[in-house]
Structures are given as C-alpha cells and as structure tokens.
Amino acid sequence: MATNRTLPFKDMGGCSISGVMDESGRRFSGEEIIRSIRNMHERSNGLGGGFAAYGIFPERADQYCMQLMFDTPEAKRETEALLDERCNVHYAEDIPTRPHEAITDEPLLHRYFVSVEPDKSRPHLDENDLMVELHMEINTTIQDAFVFSAGKNMGCFKGVGFPEDIGEYFRLEEYEAYTWIAHGRFPTNTTGWWGGAHPFSILDWAIVHNGEISSYGINKRYLRNFGYECTLQTDTEVIAYLFDLLIRKHGLPLEVACQAMAPPFWEDIERMPEREQAQAKAIRAVYGGALLNGPFAVVVGSTGRMIGFSDRTKLRPQVCARGGDRLYIASEEAAIRTICPDPDVVWHPDGGEPVVGELQAGVQVA
C-alpha cells in the first residue's frame, strides 16, 4: 500500500489497564470502569487514557461504526470523500462530549455508521478485508485523520489526559456495554497525541496494553507481509493486528493464537506429550514473527469475548477475578475491588496463560 507519510517508530511506557465483562450479556454503564481505572491514577501521567465498549450500538449492530479524529476540517472533508466512494454511510454524528477542565486541544471527533459492498473486481476480499483496507488507507494516506475504531457494535474513546477525565469527557456513563476495557498511559518519550492513546483497534478487536514489545521491529515486518502497516506511534498496534491476522485471517483457535504470541519455553515443550509437543514446536517454528517479546500485560476485547494475557515470564502485573457473571482483569487487585468489593475468586494467571471471558451459550448481544 502506498504511503505518503513517514511511519513513526514505537514509543515506550508503563501503564494501567482494566477490563470488565458481563458474560450474561447484561449491559452496564461506563461509570464502573471509570471508577476502576481512576483507582490506578498513579500508574498514568496524564498523557493518554482511553476505553473500548462492546454492545453500545444495538440499534445499528449490523453496521461498522467508524470513530475518527481529525486535526483539521480538510482532513475530515478528505476522509468523508473517501468514505462516500468506498462505502454506504447510513448515519453520521459528532461523538458526544462535554466540556472538561482537564481536557484541552481536542481534535474534531466524529462517527460514521457504514456498510461496504463486495468489490466485484476482487471477489476474494470479504467485507472485513475491505474495512481493514479502508482503515489502513485513512491512517497511512490522509494527513491529520485517524481511525480510533471501525468495528460493529463497539467503539473506542480515547485522548490526551488522565483516563478518568477522558471517560467523563466522552460521557461514557451514558453508554451501556457488556464489556468495557480501559487504559491509563505513562508514555516516556512521546508527545501527547490523541491517536497514540490506547485502546488500539482493528475491526472489532481492541487492545489495552501495559508494557513494551521488544520484538516490535520484527512483529512489524512480519505483519507487513500480510498488508498491515503500523502507523500509530506505538507497539500496541501490533498486538491488535496479530489478533486479527491469526484469528480472523489464519483461522487459528484462540488458544493457539495466544500460544503463538506467548509460547511455552523450549524446556517446557520438551516435557510435553508427543502430539502436544509436535504441535507446540510447529507453532513456534512457523509463527516466530508473531512471538511477542518483552514485558507486557494486555486485555483484548472483541465481540462476545474478553481476553487477558501477559508475556511468558510475566514481567508486568495482571490480576483476575470473578464475581457473579462478571470477569475482571486489571493491573492491580485494588482496581477490581473498588468496583467489586467481594469477588467470588481472585487469581494471578501464569505468564503467557490466556484468561478468556465469553458470553454464555445462547446470549445474543445485538
């Protein structure tokens, strides 16, 4: 894909993350997740905060909701011309915000509910492929326009500020979702840029991440083979793209995809039963470019699912809890107990071990 912008390199930082999923599909307001992430205020430095919410647009659940930021009206006009050319825009509006004393230099924030028609000249591409292509094209070719998210029945809300202030600014208490994930950022070498806050998203995948991906250089090159361009000044982006590649495009089962990104050590593989060992060897040999190295803990949202996992040696904190129908994953136990004082169970998953929340059988979310 042609690009007329220099593609920046990753930044680094520590962070706070929190995620809550109601596996019964019951939707709840953003007030709780704001309270949870506020509890970890010390883990961020006011240079970025953000949220992803699933199930928030049930009335338009079959359309992609593109949430974008624009630094200039020209970028908005250029993007809208591209959207008109590529897809059907069913509805568009400003993303609702409220004036907030802690939030300044806001970009233009707009959302579009769209659908795409199959491209007759390229029948091998389905609507998701076309949406990824559109997402990448806006981010790489239109100066001053950035896609926050472009998935169905979900949205990302993010910006420069402490996460609790960002949540209030975006009036998240007015939305109801069955999964909320949140992030407070402590970047160490980047200027405050709204596009650089977490979550990072592609289609309905959204990722919040605490850590640094030391393997970023090769993950980025590996993903480029498959048409993904990393453009957002952060290493977190590669995790979102890897989930999309491994699960949606390669069709790997979730546990295999997680194993590719945080595989067991060879010494553990040597002790596995024969069939399992052959499988683990093949995954490492084939998906070496997808291995995520360095300290990280992430929470990944997608339709009907929330996944937490960390690097193989667990160099960043991650605590999980269950209470009633809800699964909680956070950087600190306090961030869970502030919204769920008496959980049924609290545990610390091993490094590389995925924790998966899924909607209960038969639950419809749209």
252 touches another protein by CB under 8 A: yes
Q: What would the DSSP string read from start to end of 273-310?
A: -HHHHHHHHHHHHH-GGG---SSEEEEEEETTEEEEEE
Count the residues of the shown chain that bind another protein, applying the rule CB under 8 A: 46
Token pair of 295 as six digits = 């300290």
Closest CA to 264 of 273, 321, 216: 273
Q: Using CB under 8 A, which residues numbered 294 to 353 contact another protein?
A: 294-295, 312-313, 315
Position among 212, 229, 237, 244 found at the interface with another protein (CB under 8 A): 212
| By CB under 8 A, residue 10 contacts another protein | yes
**Under 8 Å between Cβ of 323 and 338:** no
Check residue 286 for interaction with another protein (CB under 8 A): yes
Residue 121 CB neighbour total at 10 angstroms: 6
CA distance linking residue 194 with residue 191, whole number of Å: 10
Per CB under 8 A, does 287 bind another protein?
A: yes
Binding segment (CB under 8 A) for another protein, from list 101-109, 195-203, 252-260, 333-341: 252-260
Closest approach, Cβ 13 to another protein, in A, equals 6
Determine if 282 is a binding residue for another protein (CB under 8 A): yes
d(CA 334, CA 314): 19
CA atoms within 13 A on the CB side of 305: 16
Long-range contacts of 337-342 (CB under 8 A, 24+ apart): 338/35, 338/36, 338/39, 339/20, 339/32, 339/33, 339/35, 339/36
Q: Does 1 bind another protein (CB under 8 A)?
A: no
Task: Tell me phi and psi for residue 133, to 5 degrees.
Answer: -60, -45
Choices 12-20, 34-42, 130-138, 335-343; region in contact with another protein by CB under 8 A: 12-20
Q: Considering the complex, what minimum distance in angstroms separates the CB of residue 248 from another protein?
A: 12
Q: Cβ of residue 266: shortest distance to another protein, in angstroms?
A: 5
The verdict on whether 15 is a catalytic residue reads yes
| Nearest CB to another protein, comparing residues 126 and 270 | 270
Element (H, E) at 347: strand 345-347
- By the rule CB under 8 A, 279 interacts with another protein: yes
Residues engaged in binding another protein (CB under 8 A): 9-10, 12-14, 188, 211-212, 214-218, 220-222, 224-225, 250-253, 255-256, 263, 265-267, 278-279, 282-289, 291-295, 312-313, 315
Active site residues: 15
